[in-house]
A and B are shown apart, each in its own frame.
Chain A
């Protein structure tokens, strides 16, 4: 049963790699600019979910908030009872950076539309290559 254990131990990485490749394909193969932006967003969220899945622990670990924690704590706190909080913290920063990048990219797309009146990549390249218009 070594193969079954191997698959159970690693399948979360494989699922997030498939999601990453879906976003990667959208970024390099589509011609519309908005579809490329959505591909970048899918790629980013796949990486964030990948990191959050690293912090899980088997054996009944609960969410990273200490129970009955207000005031003085009398019971012992063991590290194996609670989830690892570090990936959650680092991914909060990554989510905020992703939102900022998407906002600036959408503003850039509006400026490109004002200048060229189209959002298809090959039409923009044709306009740029023939400047005598």
Chain B
């Protein structure tokens, strides 16, 4: 059983390493992740929102709707743990 799992892990790792042959280089400034909408966030954040921290302005202003539902996700996890574990009082 464990040798079968080991062979499956090695095959999956080899397939993933084979797939990284045509990824962009590490630290390339022209990789597709840094080209389309990211320069607009970097250049316009102080002019449009007045906040110099780019991570906070993207998280709370440009993508604020996602943060609302992320807060709902952690709230739901807390309620789920309460519903599963607590025992009733005498």
Are A and B bound to each other?
Answer: yes
List residues of chain A with CB under 8 Å of any chain B CB: 8-14, 17-18, 20-21, 24-25, 28-29, 53-59, 61, 64-67, 69-70, 73, 77-80, 82, 84-89, 92-93, 96-97, 99-101, 103-104, 107-108, 110-111
Q: Return the 9 tightest CB-CB contacts between A and B, nearest first.
A: A69-B52, A100-B77, A9-B25, A29-B5, A79-B39, A58-B27, A66-B52, A85-B54, A64-B54
Do residues A58 and B29 form an inter-chain contact, with CB atoms below 8 A? yes
How long is the Cα–Cα vector from A41 to B58 in the complex, in angstroms? 27
Report A-chain residues with C-beta under 8 Å of the C-beta of B70: 93, 96-97
Given contacts A58-B28, A58-B29, contact A14 B17 (CB under 8 A): yes
Report B-chain residues with C-beta under 8 Å of the C-beta of A20: 13, 16
> Interface majority SS on B: helix, strand, loop or mixed?
helix
Do residues A57 and B34 form an inter-chain contact, with CB atoms below 8 A? yes
Number of A-B contacts (CB under 8 A): 140
How long is the Cα–Cα vector from A97 to B67 in the complex, in angstroms? 12
Q: For the complex formed, measure the closest distance between the CB of A9 and the CB atoms of chain B, giving whole angstroms.
A: 4
Do residues B1 and A29 form an inter-chain contact, with CB atoms below 8 A? yes
A-B contact pairs, 23 of them (CB 8 A): A9-B26, A10-B26, A13-B17, A24-B9, A24-B12, A29-B2, A58-B27, A59-B29, A66-B52, A73-B47, A78-B43, A84-B33, A85-B58, A86-B33, A86-B38, A87-B33, A89-B59, A96-B70, A97-B70, A100-B77, A101-B77, A104-B80, A104-B84
Interface residue from A17, A61, A82, A104 paired with B77 (Cβ < 8 Å):
A104
Given contacts A55-B33, A107-B84, contact A21 B12 (CB under 8 A): yes
